[in-house]
Structure 1
């Protein structure tokens, strides 16, 4: 079911066909002929099936009015979904409110468990060392990822970490360009193809800063622009992937807890001061 303001995925692919190159059209024709398998395929799977490069697959996506491969898959999932799936993937017409609550929590727990299982200890350790040694931390994200970024910013401030998380994407990019060696960017985008966040990561790397990407797409432009990738796992059809947000929050919370563990005395003092401020401001 396409959105009201944009044609569905299949319609956009068909409309783009005349302007695609020969290899790009081969990819589009493959998807149009069998759209369902794409939902479980990686970009590399599609490239191999069509005997093209993964760059060709990505170029086809962008020339067909998609932000990237993940955007195509999400749009296609919405095309093929029932109206009920657009609300939540697991619920049915017969479910009562308690059953719905159970299914929402079950899906969230499944996403968290899947995310835990893909954490590479060496990669997480590398991300933590970058975080622990950073002179300053710049956090970037828009939309629901921006909400995650603001929560992470608050945790960093309570830990005494020099951190900035401007909500304006242009300011995010300006600040990234002004970073240098020893600084860190934490770039958050579930699709990994949010243009302003990718640009922010690329500018930070050019300036000499390190980049941690928090994304659900290891093949994305954001992942390729990062020093370290922390992957969140969530399979949601709806436009607002809430389970993905929970996984992103948990990954970043794990960094903060690890930081507190290493700097325990200072962290406890700061938590006490923050707690006292909360108590006094509630009178």
Structure 2
């Protein structure tokens, strides 16, 4: 998990904690040379606020925060990733400018999400799916096309996979699930009320819950048994929907490829068998 991305995406901070967060994101290299008292002074807050922020993002103290920052800063510099960069489509943008902006958002979103990929967690989920009798994908709004894309991928390799476009169908799908199913819930915000309802039903039924959600603290990733985190560059038309969908599709592609790698020869055979000849 990236401490810098987690800092940027974390919600529910106090005004003082947000000042510390913004200073760290803007000047991560300077922070490496500071004591907790110096950071508090530079961010016009207090040492207690700095420590409280560290605890909120599950970092055990300012010293540990600096260790993690040192590890990440060079990577982000090498990848030319600016976590505070925002890209918006403006009224007078030329077609060329729009194309460049959309390309930049897509590429940087994937590069940032790659930082969040936990290989051990992904392999645990891939093996969980391998054992499952049925895989259920859930998602509403912009996340629903991602669920449908995932369904088709896993259908091609012979898995029994279910997803629906309408929420009432998804609700019934969840009610009828049990421990032989795995439920994969796709929700960038992690706060969509329909998906939280689904998560609660799955949990009650003993169905393992996998969340594809943002790295910031949210209700869904607290419920889920497994979390596959995404992040999204902001903003297209001042909305992150395009970027979050790109990140979600990237995560599904990784999960699918890792699943196929567990039985490579059989997966390739089934993919070839399900190829529709033109």
Q: TM-score range by the shorter chain?
A: 0.5 to 0.7
Task: Specify the alignment match of 2:271 in structure 1.
Answer: 271
Cα distance in 2 between the residues matched to 1:125 and 1:47: 39
Task: Specify the alignment match of 1:136 in structure 2.
Answer: 134
Where does structure 1 differ by over 3 angstroms across 4 or more consecutive aligned residues?
47-51, 90-95, 237-240
Task: Specify the alignment match of 1:102 in structure 2.
Answer: 100
Cα distance in 2 between the residues matched to 1:93 and 1:168: 34
- The offset of 1:163, in angstroms, is 0.6
Task: Determine if contact 1:144/1:240 at 8 Å carries over to the other structure.
Answer: no
Cα distance in 1 between the residues matched to 2:8 and 2:234: 12
Task: Specify the alignment match of 1:251 in structure 2.
Answer: 251
Q: 2:181 aligns with which of 178, 183, 186?
A: 183
Cα distance in 2 between the residues matched to 1:129 and 1:187: 17
Normalised TM-score (structure 2):
0.67
Task: Determine if contact 2:181/2:207 at 8 Å carries over to the other structure.
Answer: yes
Residues 154-213 of structure 1, C-alpha deviations (whole Å, 9 max, x = no match): 001001111100112122122212211131000001111111111111111110110110
Q: Taking structure 1 as reference, are residues 94 and 171 closer, same or farther at Cα in structure 2, changes over 3 Å only?
A: closer
Task: Specify the alignment match of 1:166 in structure 2.
Answer: 164
Residues 13-53 of structure 1, C-alpha deviations (whole Å, 9 max, x = no match): xxxxxxxxxxxxxxxxxxxxxxxxxx9572353398499x9
Q: The residue matched to 2:201 in structure 1 has which SS? A: helix
Q: The residue matched to 1:43 in structure 2 has which SS? A: coil
Task: Determine if contact 2:127/2:259 at 8 Å carries over to the other structure.
Answer: no
Task: Specify the alignment match of 1:155 in structure 2.
Answer: 153
Superposed CA RMSD: 2.6
Q: Taking structure 1 as reference, are residues 95 and 46 closer, same or farther at Cα in structure 2, changes over 3 Å only?
A: same
Alignment of 1:207-222 (within 5 A): 207-222=205-220
Q: Taking structure 1 as reference, are residues 107 and 41 closer, same or farther at Cα in structure 2, changes over 3 Å only?
A: closer
- The offset of 1:96, in angstroms, is 2.4
- The offset of 1:126, in angstroms, is 2.2
Task: Specify the alignment match of 1:60 in structure 2.
Answer: none
Q: The residue matched to 1:186 in structure 2 has which SS? A: strand
Q: Taking structure 1 as reference, are residues 115 and 240 closer, same or farther at Cα in structure 2, changes over 3 Å only?
A: closer
Cα distance in 2 between the residues matched to 1:266 and 1:120: 26
Task: Specify the alignment match of 2:13 in structure 1.
Answer: 45
The count of aligned residue pairs is 206
Cα distance in 1 between the residues matched to 2:142 and 2:93: 27
- The offset of 1:148, in angstroms, is 0.4
Task: Specify the alignment match of 1:19 in structure 2.
Answer: none
Residues 109-154 of structure 1, C-alpha deviations (whole Å, 9 max, x = no match): 0010000001122222222222222121111001110010000000
Point out which structure has higher relative CO (alpha carbons under 8 A, 6+ apart).
2
Normalised TM-score (structure 1):
0.66
Cα distance in 1 between the residues matched to 2:154 and 2:9: 37
Structure 1 unaligned spans of 5+: 1-38, 55-87
Q: Taking structure 1 as reference, are residues 260 and 169 closer, same or farther at Cα in structure 2, changes over 3 Å only?
A: same
Q: The residue matched to 2:143 in structure 1 has which SS? A: helix
Q: The residue matched to 2:13 in structure 1 has which SS? A: helix
Q: 2:143 aligns with which of 137, 142, 145?
A: 145
